[in-house]
Amino acid sequence: MTLDILPAALSAYAEAHTSPESDLLRRLNRDTNANVLRPNMLSGHLQGRMLALFSHLLRPRRILEIGTYTGYSALCLAEGLTDDGKLITLDINEELEKRVRHWFAQSDLAAKIDYRIGNAADIIPTLDETFDLVFIDADKAGYAQYFDLTVDRVRPGGLLIADNVLWKGKVTQPELKDKALHTMMAFNQKVHDDPRVENVLFPVRDGLMVMRKLA
């Protein structure tokens, strides 16, 4: 199942006119699709290049990622880190740990990635960091909590990005009895109403909510 909101032909055209994946990312993409459950959770080519672009533009020193999955988005986000930069990525699924560490170890960015297994809601309060960029792509029921735990830890001018905010395109169908849908709609409204950020919802794949932290 694809999460692309655009018609397949338009998505293919967009990818064809987007800078290519690295060889490592291409192999990771292929491995995830062949061997891991729910491969549609992978950020993939187009979204991955978008995350990398934001990172290159921002030149972050500290990134927090909530939801590692197989490591594709972490590798994309880490591309723009400063020389002394670090990306902390959190995931609760210990079954994927060996596979994720395998892919991280093959990257030139491995030394900049701090991969931790555990409950993000427990780990985040222990982090003594100010973040330049936060990427939220974990359990959808936790999005509002993750936003509340991180927004005041992001420096003014920094970014928070949340994935899957269009929820398979269902956000225009609030009459549907879909608990996750209504959770995502409530999150989108919460962000939109929060005076600490300005936000743009990008209709890329399953939707990216991009928020800039205000002073």
Confirm whether 63 is domain-assigned: yes
Confirm whether 76 is domain-assigned: yes
Q: What is the 3 state secondary structure string of the chain?
A: CCCCCCCHHHHHHHHHCCCCCCHHHHHHHHHHHHHCCCHHHCCHHHHHHHHHHHHHHHCCCEEEEECCCCCHHHHHHHCCCCCCCEEEEEECCHHHHHHHHHHHHCCCCHHHEEEEECCHHHHHHHCCCCEEEEEECCCHHHHHHHHHHHHHHEEEEEEEEEECCCHHHHHHCCCCCCHHHHHHHHHHHHHHHCCCEEEEEECCCCCEEEEEECC
pLDDT in tens, 29-73: 999 999 999 999 999 999 999 999 999 999 999 999 999 999 999
What CATH number is associated with residue 104?
Answer: 3.40.50.150
Confirm whether 2 is domain-assigned: no
pLDDT in tens, 91-114: 999 999 999 999 999 999 999 999
Confirm whether 196 is domain-assigned: yes
Q: Give residue 135's domain range.
A: 8-213
pLDDT in tens, 139-161: 999 999 999 999 999 999 999 99
Which tokens go with 123? 């780990």
Predicted confidence band of residue 199 (pLDDT cuts 50, 70, 90)? very high
Confirm whether 128 is domain-assigned: yes
Q: How many folded domains does the chain comprise?
A: 1
pLDDT in tens, 113-142: 999 999 999 999 999 999 999 999 999 999
Mean pLDDT of 72-76: 98
Confirm whether 1 is domain-assigned: no
- pTM, two decimal places: 0.96
Confirm whether 23 is domain-assigned: yes
Confirm whether 146 is domain-assigned: yes
pLDDT at residue 2, as a whole number? 52
pLDDT at residue 215, as a whole number? 84
